Amino acid sequence: MDRIVIKKIEENITFESPPVLVCGLPGIGNVARLAVDYIVEKLKMSKIYDIYSTHLPAQVFVNSNGTAFLPKNSVYMKNISKKKSMIIFTGDFQGNTPEGQYEIGETILNIARENGVKTVYTLGGYGIGKLVENPRILGAVTNLKIRKKLESAGVIFSENEPGGGIIGSAGVIMGLAGEFYGMDAACIMGETSGYFTDPKAALAIIRTLSTLVGFRINLKEMEERSKNIEQLTEKMQGEMQERSQKDDLGYFV
């Protein structure tokens, strides 16, 4: 097997205009993948490629009906309107190694280039290690032109965030797109505790993305999932506060 195998799912794809590429793979708070899975489902996007790789874990997943499938990355497309098309890149895992992440990144960017992509948004979670009430959307960009576009969509650029850079596929794909493909690329990160799968941050990401790309999407289900998490969060905060008040009263050392 080649290290990367691209399987065409749909033969005749026509983009009515040069698409934007949106990348969302599993990562911090699973924010990116939650967001793109929701978009793919709600916009009924068409799957055009499956990408298998020896850079992905050696296993199968098993569905509830007992059918099993290899881990893969997948590419979806949709002509949103005559003037707007979108490609979404998602998958079960990021590459196992740095080399794998670079190679898979190049694979999706080659597909993007063939289809005329000029703009790339990679999605991610920005883990801050504590509960988040109103997740900010933070940005990083490959040039200042696209920064303006992001700012006008409410994306925040904060001087020291993210401090350590952007690790993994969201970083690599963005970096390669800017450095080697001449594309405008940005990473859009939803603030999250990082403690659990975070639909609230995913919801914020979807809202930002719908403005940036220009699609309409029914947010109801994600809003509900987000509310459930919010209630859970409040409950946890309440309990923690209670506990710390008790501590202050000296009941516990």
- Find the shortest distance in angstroms from Cβ 232 to a copy of itself: 23
Bridge partners of residue 186, in order along the sequence: 121, 141
Q: What is the DSSP letter of 45?
A: P
Q: Are 90 and 3 in contact (CB under 8 A)?
A: no
Using CB under 8 A, pick the residue from 30, 85, 90, 101 that binds a copy of itself.
101
Using CB under 8 A, pick the residue from 6, 13, 70, 131 that binds a copy of itself.
70
Q: Are 75 and 87 in contact (CB under 8 A)?
A: yes
- Find the shortest distance in angstroms from Cβ 51 to a copy of itself: 12
What residues numbered 108-137 form the site for a copy of itself, per CB under 8 A? none
3-class secondary-structure state, position 138 = strand
Looking at residue 183, its amino acid is: M
62 is a contact residue toward a copy of itself (CB under 8 A):
yes
Q: Are 111 and 121 in contact (CB under 8 A)?
A: no
Interface pattern 15-44 for a copy of itself (x via CB under 8 A) = ------------------------------
What residues numbered 148-207 form the site for a copy of itself, per CB under 8 A? 157, 159-160, 162, 165-169, 171-172, 174-176, 178-180, 187
Nearer to a copy of itself, 24 or 222 (CB): 24
Q: Are 86 and 77 in contact (CB under 8 A)?
A: yes
Q: Which residues are CB-neighbours of 24 under 8 A, at least 6 positions away?
A: 32, 33, 35, 36, 37, 88, 89, 90, 122, 123
Interaction site with a copy of itself (CB under 8 A): 1, 3, 5, 7, 52, 54-62, 64-70, 95-96, 98-99, 101-103, 105-106, 139-144, 147, 157, 159-160, 162, 165-169, 171-172, 174-176, 178-180, 187
